[in-house]
Structure 1
Amino acid sequence: MQFLWFDINASFSHSSLALPALEAQLSVSQRERIKWQVVNGTIKSDPSTCLLNIIKFTPDVIFATLWLFNHNFVMSVLKKAHILNLDIKIILGGPEFLGDNYIFLRNNPEVSAVFRGEGEEIFPEFVESFLNFEEWKSIKGICFIDDSGLYHDKQTVYVNDFKKLTPPENSEFFNWDKPFIQIETSRSCFNTCKFCISGKTCVKTENIPVDSLRKRLNTIKDKGIREVRILDRTFNANPARAIELLSLFEEYSSYIQFHLEVHPSFLTPKLREKILKITEGLLHVEVGIQSLDDNVLKISGRKGSAGKSLEGLKFLVGTNKFIVHADLIAGLPSYSFKQLMHDLISLIDAGPDEIQIESLKGLPGTEFRENSLQFGIVFSECPPYEVLKTSCISTEELLMASYLSRLTDIWYNNPKWQLFLRKNVKLDNEFLEKFLHYNIENHSLNQTMSLDNSGLILYEFCEKYYFNSLGDLTEAWVIAGLSLKKKPATGVKKWKYGRDTALVNPLLINFNTKNTYYYLECSDKIIWFEFENTIRGAVPSKSVTVKF
């Protein structure tokens, strides 16, 4: 029998685990009776090419995983494939089907069925039914509409023994060519977040034994993979387990960097002690803040307090051992735009390497999606199901929140401007909001932004409203390696050996004709820059500040 997997990802760097995770559970006998074809691509691929590759294979069954980001692309191609071959059965799974699936199946009659839940244990049974031409629609987890128009829902499936699953890396379809791979060390979550698909389930968290993980990491290391992203919902849900895993990761500190998602409210003293001892650069830590308002967190079902989360974030940033990424969610119930702005300022003061502001999504199967009226949330009915308004934030304010997210990404998440932005936000709490409105009025955030343009916009804003900050911005401009002939570098002067003897150059230890020197006079200091003449457009090789 011919099975086709239609694998569409967000980008070429990403790779779905769905096919290898399922195929790894099949028996040798089942594999021998299946002829697989994988048609893969991204949401930017040519849909006509994808369609042609599907039709040429003439599959009996097409499988695909739907996420909010690939939903529209996948369905547009599969609808055409079914028109060209009415005998194809289309079976879908993934996060898009964790809620009620009647409306989807009614609106997409070309889809034979969708599967809801965790499929690894049930997939061999499902495949065996197909191979033996037996009835497969009675299998648990299957949702479908029969010929009479009646909707059938076979509940949600959960894996019974996560530890005994064959690892996805054992499948011939596991992709080792990507820059990073993903691993689950545990499944389920202790948290009850109402915006997350794990928030409604009370399934006990299961952990893969450390010895099993070590064998898998050895294989990963031998394959030359340098980055592993841990898919656990909350890495430190069990602090003792987290300490054990960090010790394991230390064994690969010379080979692999590990990405983790950490809840900052639950950093116990022993876990902090362990974190302080790990090798620099071993981790990349995602810190789920979501909101710094305790009432918002309570309504959202998120455990932990705002105060502990902010303190935990500051601890992680203060280690200076790894990149720290923090996030906020605009559109949560009772979360106003004013509070969002306040929380962003607090995060900027804490100083993580990156801050992301996401819009709340009404994901299928989540409590916020299923009880949106109760929580005063209006979601879009189409992927990505973004929040349109709530009882506390208007549609206009949500648009401003999206602009604020873009501003943060351009000027805070870029290390060239981050220190300047942090300093000025700390000096004036209104700096950020003024800068936001300035960009909205000038339509700056709707355009592609180069480093050069972002610096010019920031300079023009400060020239108008924060004149005393121009010296610091000019310094940031020069250190970024940007043109000394443009406006932000107007005050930068060239220092010439033998001519400017009245001005002592602190960088001139031994005169070197291969280097050139510039300086910027400010009200309370002089900033000196050294450039290597052989490298045009480069950042300064040295800089030093001399205060009066």
Structure 2
Amino acid sequence: MNVLICTLNSQYIHSSLAPFCLLAGLKKYGDSGIYAEVIQGTVNEDINMFAEKLIQKKPHVVGLSCYIWNIEKIYILAALIKDRLPDTVTVLGGPEVSYNAATVLQNNNVDFVLSGEGEKPFALFINALKNNSSLENLPGLCRRTSSGIVVADPYVSAEEPPSPYTEEYFKALNGKIAYIETSRGCPYNCAFCLSGRCGKARFFNLDRAKKDIELLAQSGTKTIKFVDRTFNANKKRAKEIIRFITENLSQSGVCFHFEIAGDILDDELILLLNSSPKGLFQLEIGLQSFNEKTLSEINRKTNTKNLKQNISRLLEFQNVHIHIDLIAGLPYEDMQSFINSFNIAFSLRPHMLQFGFLKLLHGSPMRENKEKYPCEFSKTPPYEVISTPWLTKEELSELHYAENALDRIYNSGRFSKTLEYVLKTKNISPYELFNSFGKYYSKTSSLDDLSKAFFDFFSDNTEEFRDCFVIDRLQTNASGKLPTFLKRTDSRLKEFKYTYPPKKGVTRGYAILYEENVFIYVDYENKDPVTGEYTITKISL
């Protein structure tokens, strides 16, 4: 039997773990005589060409992993396959179809849905098809019958799943971002999230986890992302993994990314992280809101005082990249409340502040309990909130201006000195800054055009403002060149370039800061792995 396991990733740089989990399940639980292959694409490629690639292999079964970013393309793909190969069985799985299988099965191009974890159910399903045996009572299998649609509960395994890190996985990875899970399930039950529906937290064998981490670190990838729902839910285990990576893989050239609960960090784990090599770890901390009523309403138990203190302590040494998340559109979060949450989050100065909008996911309590969580949201992926009893359509639309400017001006890391200067001299809040600039300039443009717009909008015609801009540009742009609006004609610059030539093979950027009355240069080597900045050298004039 010829089986294809496929998905469409959001970008080429991303790999997908799920298809290889299914492949590992087939190897462990599948019968002999089954030939299975993983084929990945992206949502950005020509869907007809990708479908043709699958069709040419004449599969008996095509399994498709489904997420909010690919489900619309997956439906098109299933239709293309069925049109050419009507006898091929299509089976969908993944979070985007696990909790709305009855609706998905109304699409005649979808034959089956596997709900929940898939390693064992997928193998048992393939075995049943191969042996022409009964499909009744297969775990997680949702299907059409003569008496109607049968929907099974999402499958949660009591067994530790087989490792997906096979020869096929590493061949396909090819330097892309790698993903690893060392546990499944979640100890929390946040109303906007699906993780609480994946069973209680189950932790994989620690020796296996260490082996998998080492294998990935030696694969050529530069980033390994842990998909454990709350990595530090088991504090002892989290510390053991952090120690293992620090002691064995600090010279691997790989950055390890974890999603954590910031308020439950203890002194020992903070010390471990702060004493780790610079750039070895990235932490993503989902704070979502600083409104206590909001957090309570979404079942998010957070000690916000501890959260702020712990994030500040992690940022003190600047050797761990800190990414924190806010969500607009949550219950009891009106415009003023969200702006307050935003300003508090920004005041911590994380390296990245992700400003997202609530998405009403299939299976999440917020989508299923409409009386408790009355929201208007888009009926097509990604199901983004349109209005709530606390935020109007107009207000949510307004927030998009700030979100856009935040990503381009702050999260890009290209304007840090200038931003601090503007906040200090203009006497405006962070939200006011990003909202006002977002309204002024929202079009997609080159870095030079964006920089010119930011310069024009906030300029106070002082040398200090221009100097901040010059530093930002030279520290973050390895061309070493200033845009036209920052250049000055100064005969001393040529003399300094002659006096301070760069090392062979190294590009060097030069400028004069007129407020400080110093000459500066930047060598474009040894970029800071946390901030993305190069080191500035200053010489008094």
Q: Same fold (TM over 0.5)?
A: yes
Whole-angstrom distance in 1 between the partners of 2:77 and 2:37:
16
Counterpart-to-counterpart distance in 2, 1:452 and 1:488: 10
- Which stretch shows the higher mean deviation, 343-352 or 247-256? 343-352
2-side partners of 1:258 and 1:338: how far apart? 36
Note closer, same or farther for the CA distance 1:343–1:467 as it changes in structure 2 (3 Å cut): farther
Paired with 1:305 and 1:425, the residues of 2 have a C-alpha distance of 28
Tell whether the 8 Å contact from 2:111 to 2:143 is kept in structure 1 after alignment.
yes
Q: Partner of 1:414 in structure 2? A: 412
Alignment partner, residue 492 of structure 2 = 495
Query: Are the equivalent residues in 2 in contact too, given 1:493–1:518 (CA < 8 A)?
Result: no
Identity rate, percent: 24
Quote the offset at 1:34 in angstroms.
1.6
Question: Is contact 2:377-2:387 (8 Å) kept?
Answer: yes
Correspondence list, 1:531-542, <5 A: none
Report the RMSD for the aligned CA atoms in angstroms.
Answer: 3.0
The answer to whether the 8 Å contact 1:477/1:489 transfers is: no
User: Which of 441, 447, 451 is 1:451 aligned to?
Assistant: 447
Alpha-carbon distance between aligned partners in 2 of 1:190 and 1:411, rounded to the nearest angstrom: 36
The letter of the residue matching 1:272 is: I
Equivalent of 2:183, from 183, 186, 201? 186
Amino acid at match of 1:463: S
1-structure distance, mates of 2:167, 2:510 = 59
How has the CA–CA distance of structure 1 residues 404 and 476 changed in structure 2, closer, same or farther, with 3 Å as cutoff?
Answer: same
Deviation at 1:362? 0.9
Distance apart, 1:290 and its partner CA: 1.0
Single out whichever of 264-273 and 172-181 deviates more from structure 2.
172-181
Equivalent position SS for 2:96: helix
Q: 1:337 to 1:408 in 2, by over 3 A?
A: same
> How many Å separate the matches in 2 of 1:88 and 1:521?
71
Aligned to 2:102: 102
Letter in 2 for 1:254: Q
Summarize the alignment of residues 174-253 of structure 1 with structure 2, pairs less than 5 Å apart. 175-200=172-197, 203-250=199-246, 251-253=248-250
1:364 is aligned to 2:358 = no
Counterpart of 2:312 (choices 307, 311, 314) is: 314
What amino acid sits opposite 1:136 in the alignment?
A: L
Whole-angstrom distance in 1 between the partners of 2:6 and 2:226: 25
1:398-437 equivalences under 5 Å are 398-425=396-423, 428=426, 430=428, 432-437=430-435
Contact persistence 1:475–1:527 (CA under 8 A): no
Residue in structure 2 matched with residue 544 of structure 1 by the alignment: 538
Q: Return the alpha-carbon distance in structure 1 between the equivalents of residues 462 and 391 of structure 2.
A: 30
Secondary structure of 1:41's counterpart equals strand
Q: Which residue of structure 2 aligns with residue 519 of structure 1? A: 512
User: What TM-score does the superposition give when structure 2 sets the normalisation length?
Assistant: 0.88
4+ runs of 1 displaced by more than 6 Å?
Answer: 464-468, 513-517
1:170 aligns with 2:143: no
Tell me if 1:127 matches 2:121. Answer: no
Is 1:472 aligned to residue 468 of structure 2? yes
Q: Distance in 1 between matches of 2:293 and 2:509?
A: 57
Structure-2 change in CA distance of 1:474 and 1:34 (3 Å): same
1:308-340 Cα deviation digits (max 9, x unpaired): 222221111113222111111111111223333
Determine the structure 1 residue equivalent to 2:73: 73
Which one of 444, 458, 463 corresponds to residue 462 of structure 1? Answer: 458
TM-score relative to the length of structure 1: 0.87
Q: Secondary structure of 2:312's partner?
A: helix
Gaps of 5+ in 1: 499-506, 533-538
Partner of 2:529: none
Q: Give the whole-Å Cα distance in 2 for the aligned partners of 1:375 and 1:15.
A: 34
Partner of 2:530: none
**Aligned match of 1:55:** 55
In structure 2, do the counterparts of structure 1 residues 423 and 316 end up closer, same or farther at CA, with 3 Å as the change threshold? farther
SS at 1:96 equivalent: coil
Partner of 2:137: 138
Partner of 2:290: 292
Deviations 1:252-301 (A, max 9, x none): 11113211111110111222232233233221111112112212111111
> Match of 1:3, SS?
strand
Q: Which amino acid aligns with 1:344?
A: F
Alpha-carbon distance between aligned partners in 2 of 1:171 and 1:472, rounded to the nearest angstrom: 50
Q: Distance in 2 between matches of 1:300 and 1:402?
A: 23
Give the greater-gyration-radius structure (CA): 1
Deviation of 1:236 (Å):
1.0
Matched residues in 1 for 2:434 and 2:474: separation? 24
Corresponding residue SS for 1:375: coil
Match of 1:341 in 2: 339
CA distance in 2, matches of 1:497, 1:90: 68
Query: For residues 458 and 297 of structure 1, what CA distance do their matches in structure 2 show?
Result: 35
